[in-house]
Every structure is written in C-alpha cells, then in structure tokens.
Amino acid sequence: MNIFQKYTKRTNSRLTKIFALLMFPIACSLLGCGWGGSIASSGNTATTTTLIASSSTVSYGSSLTLTASILPSTAAGTVTLYDGLTSIGSGTAISGVATLSLTSLAVGSHSITAVYGGSATYTTSTSSAVTVTVTSSSSLTATSTTLVTSATSATVGTSITLTASVVPSAATGTVYFYDGTTSVGSGTLSSGIATETTTGLAVGTHTVTAVYSGSTTYATSTSNAVAIVITAASTTSSSSCGLGTGAYVLSAGSATLASASYSATSEDESAVCVQNYGSSLTLTNPTLSTTGSTSSTDNSSFYGLNAVALAYGSSSSTNSGGTLTITGGTITSSGTGANGVFASGEGATVNITGTTINVSGGNAHGLDAAEAGTLNITNVTATSSGASGSIIATDRGGGFVTVSGGTYATTGMRSAGIYTTGTVTCANAATFTIADAEGIVVEGANSLSSNKCVYTSTANSTDNRTIFIYNSASGDANAGTASLSLNGDTYTATSTTAPFFYVTNTTTAISLTGVTINNSSSALLTAQANSNWGTTGSNGGLVTMTTSKQTLSGAIAVDDISTLALSLTNSSVYTGAINTADTGETVGLTLDATSSWQVGGTSYLTTLSDTGGISGTSITNIYGNGYTVYYLSASNTALGGKTYTLAGTAGGYLKPM
C-alpha cells in the first residue's frame, strides 16, 4: 500500500466516524432510540441519558426546565436538546447533570430528546423522547395560589409548616415551595391543598413563596410571599448543654449571628454552647464572657464544663459534637476552670480566627480540646494569667489542635504554652511567651509538630524544665512514644538552670531540624527517673533524638534506668559533654560525615557510630578540646578496643573501657 492509499484509508475512516457522530442524534430521533441508547466504541465507557421535564404541560410563554442526567455521573461534556430534529439549546454536564430552561416553545405538542455528545472517555447516548404540550394561555383554567405558614417567626430548628391553597380546588398536580430561589420542598395537591414541613431555615429573614406547576387543564400560579424571621435559639442559663448550662444553646440546625453578646454568671454556665452532631453555629465579632466557676476542675478539663465557648459531643468514638465557628470578637473569663474555648467529643469542632481571648482563673486554659475534639486556631491573640492554665491544651481522650499564626501568652504558675495529650501542630510563626512554666509539654503517646513557630519561656523555679516530655500515668494519656518535631522554630529559654529537654517515665522520639535554640542554661538534656511519676525502677526517660542541620550545646545527663540514642546528620554540630557521670543505662551516638561533636567534658558512650569520621586511629569530626571520651568495648567491636586521637589543636582521646 503506497502513502496515498494509506492516507486515503485513514481519511475515509475518520470521515465515516465523524458522519456517524453527526447523524446519531437525527437517527435516534427518527428511529426512537431506547432509554440510554449509546454508540459504543472500543475502549470507551458506555453511557445512558435520561431526560425529565419540569412539567408535561405548560402555557405558552411559561418557563419549562429540562434536566438531562447522564450515567456514569463522571461523564463530562455537552448535552444538546432537540425538538424533533431541531436543536433547541445545549448545556454542559456537571456531575452528570445538565439543565436548560425554555420559554420559547410554540403552542402544540413537542417531542424532546437529550443527546450527550460523548468525550474521549465516554460514548454518546440519547434519551427517550419526552412529550411536552404547550397550550395557549386562554385554553387553561386560571388558578390562584395562597400561602400561609404555621409561624412567621421562630427559633432556629423549629418545625414550620407551609400550606398552599390552590383555587379552583379541583386543580391537581404539584406545588413547589421556595425560600427566595432555593427550593425547600414540594407537596402534592389534594382538594386544592399542598403542605410541606421544614426545620432547615437558618437564622435570618426568609421570603417564602409557593408555585403551583399547573396541569393539562389548569394554569400555573405563584402565591403571595410570606416573610419568616428565624432567630437564634437563645435560651436562659438553666438550659442544659454538655454537663452544664449555657446562656445561648444550639442543639440542632444552624445559626449565624453577627456582633452577638452573651454573658454567663452562674456556676458551670457557658456563654455559648453547641451540642449534637450536625448543629452548627457561626459567630462574627461576638462578645462572650463568663464570671462563674466550675464545680469540677476534672469535668472542666475533660468535657469543657464552664467553658466560655463550648462545642460538645457526648462520645469520643462516634460523631456526636457540634461545630462552632468564631471570627473576630472577644472571649473573656475570670472563674476557676473557665476555659476560653473548648471542643469535647468526636465531631465537636471549633474553628476560630482573629479572636482575642483572655482567661484569668485557675485551671482555665485559653483553648482546649479533649475526648477527640478538634480545634482549628488561626491568628488568635490569647492570654492566660491563672495557675495551671496552659494557653493551648488537650486533655483526657486526646484532641486535634492546629495552630496557625497568632500570639499566645501565659503568666500563671505552671501554665505552659502548648500542653499536648493529643495531636497538635503549630505553624506560620505562631508566637508563645511563657512566664512561669514550660513552653512545651508532651504527655504520653502524643505529639507536637511545630514548623517555624516562636517560643520564649521562663521555667517555673520549682519544676525547672523548659521542654517537658513525660507520662503522668494519671489516665489523661496512653503510655507509648511521645513525639516532638521542631522544624525551623526559634526557641529562647531564659532559665539559667533548667535543662532544655527534660524526659521522664516515657519513651520519646525528638526530631530537630534547623531550630534556633537560645538556651541560657548549660544543660541541654536530662533523661532520668522522677519519683512523682511511674514505678520506681522503670520510670526513666528513653530518648531517641535525631538532628538535621542543627546546632546544639549543653550537657546531656542520663541516669541508670534511662537511655539515649543521639544521631547528628546533615551538618549538625553538638557542643557539650555526654553522660559525664557514666550513669546512663545505654548511651549511643551516631554522626554522619558532615556532622561534628565539640566535646565539652569527659563523656561516656555505650556505642559510637562514626564511619565517616574515623580514619586509622584518628577521628576527624569529634573535637576533643583536651577531654577524653570513653566507649564500651564489648558494644563497639568495629572500634577494635583501640584508642583514637580526637581532632582539634587541644587534643583529646576516644578510649575503650
């Protein structure tokens, strides 16, 4: 076959396919393709198209809506509508649906089909024909529709019945109810009456109408408009919410309030509370305050009792909580256990942006989540001045907290910056200033992942810890590996005596990448047992610390039931002494070829891995500074029991023991 023959064959084949596609709508119209008929081509997915008309009979000039549905619903492309062989319009399929509204059909009977044009993935298909009769206005009996409602004002979530009366009462068909242009339901006429009941109207004013769609005998008609005002389900302080009460309680439906002001003064009373899954409250620039105290600090910490703003759910394992969204405004509290914002229970969610929070009572956290609740915090300014009132916290049952930007401060004793018994992330330069506590606390098998946040803290003089990782064994957190990841953060620790990291009664994995650490103390890490937590003899700190592009300095202390595995990678530099008392149960150090250790005192290692730095009997990336580092021969067979000379002009040695 020559080139011309090949070209002619390809061209004829293409023309045949194009002609088939162009003629298919006409052929289907003439031959009466069945429901969803399609042309299948090899490799393409077959489709079906169904056409529905909003009415089988319309008066001339009335609007007719034609809806084409394509299966699979993922099919995309153009649907063209035909009146017989004449195209009367087209629409784009979105999620398998295309609609077209017409007012131009002439008086008479029309056989309308919908043709889906197909795509590279899906075949074409043509619907069955739908017959629509257009009558002259004078040929239909005129109707009138009147709408009445069971209430013209109600609180959100209230059931409201819409009743349409069509005259003549012999009219048959359907009445559609609209809130503006949004459908709220429909009803079938019976003796001229159609009803619909709704609970879904949101807070605000709604203009409701009823539209009778007409029939082959009766003309369409639209009712009078009825205004319905929906207000928030404001309640008295005796209304139950969670374990307490609320000045404003939303238990069902949704509400949106602007510049609302709610205050609570009684014990265990929230200013606002949203409960039950599916309920949703949106507040813009609210003023929320409480002065009452809690009857139970445990219930305040676990379930949000007495919180100013509470999203509550009764279960930590199934969706049970409501959603509270707050933008701007202020939240203040002065009572004991009066957390500013709290999410308790699975599904309970608080989204808060640009709000100012000030809590001053003891055991009052700024923002807290427990029992699998969720907090999404963006650019909030929050302060806590009472004791034991961490500004960002999770508690029993865990929680999920995301902090993005904003400023957060505490001045109360033992009021940490972030206290996590759940999953917490921090990003976008969120800034913490902590006057009398740890900046970060991770309890149990939980985590903090921080990326470019800023911390400044002064340790409590009694506790003497900057970052605290432990397991209290109180039931607030499960035992397991505590995870702390700091990436590009800046941390300034002002205490001159507190270790930067203090680990007890837990296993932890610490990851440090490019963190700027300004530590006023000479102690970097202490891993040891503490009689306040755990069982004597098994309550040490088991630490794995991995660094990348990290500069560290300060002493590392490990007691006889604690362990350390320190890995320096990607040009990390550590300056300090490790395990100078030779007490650590096991102490291991790993360096890659790009990283180094400036030895700051006599040190004792169980294991050393430094394949990139050892050359003969010299080590090029451990600088002795006149000190000796000892290693355990039995655990380091690769070192051969030899003595190695450390780098640097001051000398130093790595010796077996």
Residue of 70, 41, 68 lying closest to 52 (CA atoms): 68
Residue of 471, 608, 584 lying closest to 534 (CA atoms): 471
Q: How many CB atoms lie within 10 A of CB 585?
A: 15
Q: How buried is residue 431: exposed, middle or buried, by Cβ count under 10 Å (0-12/13-18/19+)?
A: middle
- The predicted-structure confidence for 546-586, as pLDDT tens digits, reads as follows 999 999 999 999 999 999 999 999 999 999 999 999 999 99
Distance of CA 329 to the CA centre of its chain: 22
**Is 27's pLDDT higher than 90?**
no
Burial 486-504 (b: 16+ CB within 10 A, else e): bbebbbbbbbeebbbbbbb
pLDDT for the residue numbered 175: 95
pLDDT for the residue numbered 590: 98
pLDDT for the residue numbered 182: 87
pLDDT for the residue numbered 43: 63
3-state helix, strand, coil in the chain (%, to 5): 5, 50, 40
- The predicted-structure confidence for 6-23, as pLDDT tens digits, reads as follows 333 333 343 333 333 333
Q: Which CATH number fits domain 140-231: 3.30.230.10, 2.60.40.10, 3.40.50.300, 3.50.50.60?
A: 2.60.40.10
Domains 3-137 and 140-231 share a fold: yes
- The predicted-structure confidence for 248-260, as pLDDT tens digits, reads as follows 999 999 888 888 8
pLDDT for the residue numbered 454: 98
Q: How far apart, in whole angstroms, are the C-alpha atoms of residue 57 and residue 509?
A: 72
**Is 357's pLDDT higher than 60?**
yes
- Matching residue, tokens 């429909």: 186
- The predicted-structure confidence for 148-201, as pLDDT tens digits, reads as follows 999 998 877 778 999 999 999 999 999 999 999 888 999 999 999 999 999 888
Q: How far is CA 567 from CA 300, 322, 484, 513, 573, in A?
A: 41, 45, 15, 12, 11
- Average predicted confidence (pLDDT) for the chain: 90
- The predicted-structure confidence for 494-515, as pLDDT tens digits, reads as follows 999 999 999 999 999 999 999 9
162 neighbors 199 (Cβ within 8 angstroms): no
Q: How far apart, in whole angstroms, are the C-alpha atoms of residue 92 and residue 95?
A: 10
Question: Would you say domain 3-137 falls under CATH 2.60.40.10?
Answer: yes
- Of the ranges 27-36, 351-360, 563-572, which one carries the lowest mean pLDDT score? 27-36
Tokens (6 digits) for 405: 């930007």
More confident residue, 215 or 354: 354
pLDDT for the residue numbered 233: 54
With cut-offs at 50, 70 and 90, classify the pLDDT of residue 204. confident
Residue of 428, 449, 434 lying closest to 512 (CA atoms): 449
Q: How far apart, in whole angstroms, are the C-alpha atoms of residue 226 and residue 206?
A: 8
Q: Where in the chain are the domains?
A: 3-137, 140-231, 549-657
